[in-house]
């Protein structure tokens, strides 16, 4: 076993800082847009299954896009992919803002928006995730990921805290306009990356693009690696449970009679948890064990949702306090996956296949998520949020136990072989 193929040299600080700053600004309107779209959709129908429809369209489109995203960023220039698709995201959000300002916004417009977010956002996100390990030194990856999460969560914390108020007073239009402008900043930030740094590997830069051959090449690599054969199926189950929990804040707020303001506040607590965890990871937690932090985070928020479900189901007086605490723990626990597991996974994958592995994994993890979400929201409409949260919390804890049983718990064991066909043309492999 050997280490993954090394990419280009690290990016100079004078270029890295504006690139990361542009990306951070590009994510500045995400939480605003999420609250605006989901709450607007829920208020149009007053049924939890509407969230399942919007979320299902988003995740299903994202699943299909994931396959193409990996192929695109491993074949074309990753820097140029970020510029193009971030610009498309910005224009899409601005177009929806125009509809909202004119009073012509309808539910199907929201469906088109979430699908467009997946179609354009998928390649942009994968391009960033796959180019970042080649622009920074490996030992700095946890710190960089932690800093990005800290900044993003600080911004999102403020957005979530006021987004429900903004929607209640002015509607979704100002939020969507802001989100569109921020995406254009992300597109501009990518201009600071030299074009040569965006190439996945030199052998394919000038060759014809054979997407199906590219995909088969990576599938053979995945099948050959025992560790990836375990990680990806477990990721599928984890994505199904996480997807359902991700759309629970508006349901819990509605069940407690808190309205859009309550939704925004619960979302801000979640983001506050991610912020707290990210700050720890970027400072004193850079050397903490990645695997324990990842799995421990899952157990933390799994137990929390289990307790919240019991309180909601039994109508205990502490339910409000439990909701506050659990959504904070949800965010805190998510840090394990967002920072520690992401850093380990990014560093482990060879640069030539990194985008396609992300794409294939993203497709498999998202393909069944809409069905799980529809089932969860169907049960919410019929039996309430409490029993559904109990079931999801138990599933998360059980999955953490399975991960401990099936995956190596030593970081040094998370090593993949270098692909023997890295320098081959996909059509010749």
Which residue from 294, 320, 312 is spatially nearest to 392, judged by alpha carbons? 312
SS3 368: coil
SS3 340: helix
In a domain, residue 125? The reply is: yes
Write out the residue range of the structural domain in which residue 41 sits: 13-199+245-410
Residue 224 has pLDDT above 80, yes or no: yes
In angstroms, what CA-CA distances link 154 with 180, 275, 276, 336, 363?
A: 19, 6, 9, 17, 29
- pLDDT higher for 209 or 105? 105
Which residue from 77, 416, 390, 381 is spatially nearest to 255, judged by alpha carbons? 381
In a domain, residue 415? The reply is: no
The pLDDT confidence band at residue 160, using thresholds 50, 70 and 90, is low
Residue 422 has pLDDT above 50, yes or no: no
Distance in angstroms (rounded) separating the CA atoms of residues 113 and 109: 6
In a domain, residue 204? The reply is: no
Residue 129 maps to which CATH number? 1.20.1250.20
Residue 315 has a pLDDT of: 74
In a domain, residue 6? The reply is: no
pLDDT digits (tens, 9 = 90+) for 43-73: 777 777 777 778 778 777 877 787 777 778 7
The pLDDT confidence band at residue 154, using thresholds 50, 70 and 90, is low
In a domain, residue 419? The reply is: no
Residue 205 has a pLDDT of: 46
In angstroms, what CA-CA distances link 125 with 66, 138, 232?
A: 10, 20, 19
Residue 1 has pLDDT above 60, yes or no: no
In a domain, residue 401? The reply is: yes
Distance in angstroms (rounded) separating the CA atoms of residues 99 and 427: 46
The pLDDT confidence band at residue 420, using thresholds 50, 70 and 90, is low
Residue 301 has pLDDT above 60, yes or no: yes
Residue 5 has pLDDT above 60, yes or no: no
Provide, rounded to the nearest whole percent, the portion of the chain with pLDDT above 90.
10
In a domain, residue 4? The reply is: no
**Exposed, middle or buried, 248 (CB in 10 Å: 0-12/13-18/19+)?**
buried
SS (H, E, C) 43-94: HHHCCHHHHHHHHHHHHHHHHHHHHHHHHHHHHCCHHHHHHHHHHHHHHHHH
In a domain, residue 366? The reply is: yes
Q: How many structural domains compose the chain?
A: 1
Residue 404 has a pLDDT of: 92
């Amino acid at each position: 076993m050997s280490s993954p193929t090394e990419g280009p040299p690290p990016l100079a600080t004078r270029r890295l800082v504006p690139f990361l700053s542009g990306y951070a600004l590009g994510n500045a309107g995400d939480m605003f847009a999420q609250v605006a779209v989901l709450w607007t959709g829920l208020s149009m129908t007053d049924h939890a299954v509407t969230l399942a429809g919007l979320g299902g369209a988003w995740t299903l489109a994202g699943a299909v896009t994931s396959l193409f995203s990996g192929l695109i960023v491993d074949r074309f220039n990753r820097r140029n992919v970020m510029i193009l698709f971030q610009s498309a995201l910005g224009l899409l959000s601005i177009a929806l803002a125009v509809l909202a300002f004119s009073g012509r916004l309808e539910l199907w417009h929201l469906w088109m928006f979430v699908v467009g977010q997946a179609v354009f956002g998928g390649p942009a996100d994968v391009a960033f995730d796959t180019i970042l390990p080649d622009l920074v030194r490996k030992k700095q990856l946890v710190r960089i990921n932690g800093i990005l999460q800290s900044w993003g969560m600080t911004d999102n914390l403020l957005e979530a805290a006021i987004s429900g108020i903004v929607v209640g007073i002015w509607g979704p239009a100002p939020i969507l306009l802001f989100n569109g402008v921020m995406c254009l900043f992300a597109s501009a930030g990518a201009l600071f990356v030299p074009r040569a740094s965006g190439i996945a590997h030199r052998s394919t830069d000038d060759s014809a693009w054979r997407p199906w051959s590219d995909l088969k090449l990576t599938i053979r690599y995945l099948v050959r690696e025992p560790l990836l054969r375990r990680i990806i199926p477990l990721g599928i189950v984890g994505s199904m449970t996480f997807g359902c929990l991700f759309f629970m804040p508006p349901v819990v707020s509605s069940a407690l009679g808190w309205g859009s303001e309550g939704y925004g506040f619960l979302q801000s607590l979640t983001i506050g948890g991610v912020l707290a965890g990210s700050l720890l990871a970027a400072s004193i937690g850079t050397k903490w064990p990645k695997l324990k932090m990842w799995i421990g985070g899952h157990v933390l928020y799994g137990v929390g949702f289990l307790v919240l479900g019991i309180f909601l189901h039994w109508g205990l007086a502490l339910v409000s306090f439990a909701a506050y605490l659990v959504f904070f723990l949800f965010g805190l626990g998510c840090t394990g996956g967002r920072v520690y597991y992401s850093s380990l996974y990014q560093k482990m994958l060879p640069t030539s296949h990194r985008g396609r592995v992300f794409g294939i994994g993203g497709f498999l993890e998202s393909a069944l998520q809409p069905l799980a979400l529809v089932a969860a929201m169907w049960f919410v409409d019929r039996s309430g949020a409490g029993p559904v949260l109990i079931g999801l919390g138990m599933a998360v804890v059980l999955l953490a136990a399975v991960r401990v049983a099936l995956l190596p718990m030593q970081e040094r064991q998370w090593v993949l072989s270098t692909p023997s066909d890295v320098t081959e043309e996909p059509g010749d492999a």
